[in-house]
Amino acid sequence: MTKKRNSVLKEVGPRLKRVRETMEYSQERMAALFGVTRSTYCRYEAGNAFPGASGLELLVSYFNVSPDWLMTGIGEMYLQEDEQSPANLQLEDLKPDVQGMVKVMKKMPLICFEVLSFYYAFKLDNPHVFQLEQACR
């Protein structure tokens, strides 16, 4: 595991714990929601493993956690109403290459982690690109 990826894992773990504690959930309850054992969930909080695409989807859809905050610690913990993804967005609405990537990411959490790590590193390094996106909305 590269040093940068390892440091991202170590940063995401405490944020997962913060979400859990804010919701006043036990590790057992979170593990059940994630569909993993308690020991696996503990590895997430310790920064030794990553929950993968389905775990991220759960955090965003069930807990309304901002993926930006989870991966980078920047911004608010929870999504604001205008930031939430449209409920009617379907996989079929995405470009074919993105559809393929999403399908692979759902099956392979490490690929998901790599893609998200790259995306959030790019986002941090190029804030002007995302400011333009916000201005176009």
- Tens of pLDDT along 11-61? 899 999 999 999 999 999 999 988 889 999 999 999 999 887 778 888 888
pLDDT at 82: 56
Give the DSSP letter of residue 35. T
- Tens of pLDDT along 40-51? 999 999 999 988
For the residues of 46-80, what is the DSSP string, one character each? HTSS--HHHHHHHHHHTT-B-HHHHHH--S-SB--
Ranking 21-30, 37-46, 84-93, 117-126 by mean pLDDT, the lowest is 84-93
Q: Does domain 3-81+90-136 have CATH number 1.10.260.40?
A: yes
Which range of 51-60, 105-114, 128-137 scores highest in mean pLDDT? It is 51-60
Distance of CA 22 to the CA centre of its chain: 17
CA diameter of the chain: 44
pTM: 0.62
